[in-house]
Each structure stands twice: as C-alpha cells, then as structure tokens.
Amino acid sequence: MAYELDEQKRIGVGLIGFGLAFTFLGIILFLDRGLLALGNILCLSGVALILGWRSTCKLFSEKVNIKGSLSFFVGVFLILVGWPILGILLEFYGSVVLFRGFWPSIKVFLCNIPVLGWFIQYPSLFLNRFWQSKAA
C-alpha cells in the first residue's frame, strides 16, 4: 500500500467514514438536523486527525481556500439554524473547493481498498475496452 496509516490516521479515516454515514442518514431521514450536525462534527474531527491540527487550521485559513472555507462553515451554520437543504448544498460546494487538491490522493487510496477499488476502477476498464474495440 502506498500510504502508511498510523493509529491516529486510522481513527481519522474511521471518523470521516462515520461522519459520511451520519450525513447520509441525515439526508435519507428527511434532512434531520441532529444527524447532519453529528456528521459534520465527525468529518471535521476526522480531517483534523488525519492532517494534524496545525495543517487543518492552515487549510481552512489559507487565502486560496477562503471561498471554500467560508461556504463550508456557512453551510454548517445553516444546518444548525434549521435550513438543511441550503446548508448541505453550501457544504458540498465548500468541500469540493477545499479538498480539490486531495482528490487524486483520495482516488489512489480508495483504489487500494479490496472491493471498493474494483468498483472504482471497473468503469474506466470497461470504457477502455469499449474504445479499443471501436478503434479496431
């Protein structure tokens, strides 16, 4: 495996997984504010454990990432206030903008997971075979 995970990073990955699960449950259960807020807390603490506290603060406070940070935290605030649909949309946009540099690393990590990696790589393998058969 390309990445070594110590215990703190494993806990961080677990917290992010539980955070995404709680967020998914919150969306499925008619935008339940409690589950969405718990998912946000777990995801943020997981990111802090993976990156480290100083790097997390640096990530959210860099001038390049200020648009993503602002939209993410406004989305968290809107969920806590009671506007979950707009809050989820702003959080999603903020997450994509904040973590746009991490997507290649995340893809490599996910492709190394036994079953999930096959599902991630299968569409590209299928399309490559399709295009090769069309060209021949």
Query: What are the pLDDT digits (tens) for 3-54?
Result: 677 899 889 989 999 999 999 999 999 889 999 999 999 999 999 999 899 9
| C-alpha dist (Å) from residue 82 to 34, 35, 54, 86, 91 | 10, 12, 31, 10, 14
Alpha-carbon distance 19 to 36, whole Å? 9
| C-alpha dist (Å) from residue 41 to 21, 36, 38, 55 | 12, 9, 5, 17
Residue 20: predicted pLDDT: 93
Alpha-carbon distance 117 to 109, whole Å? 9
Alpha-carbon distance 88 to 84, whole Å? 6
Residue 120: predicted pLDDT: 78
Confidence of residue 79 (pLDDT cuts 50, 70, 90): very high
Query: What are the pLDDT digits (tens) for 102-131?
Result: 888 878 877 888 887 887 777 777 777 777
Against a cut of 0.85, is the pTM above it?
Answer: no
Query: What are the pLDDT digits (tens) for 50-77?
Result: 989 999 999 899 999 999 999 999 999 9
Alpha-carbon distance 16 to 11, whole Å? 9
Residue 2: predicted pLDDT: 52
Going from N- to C-terminal start, the domains of the chain cover 7-100
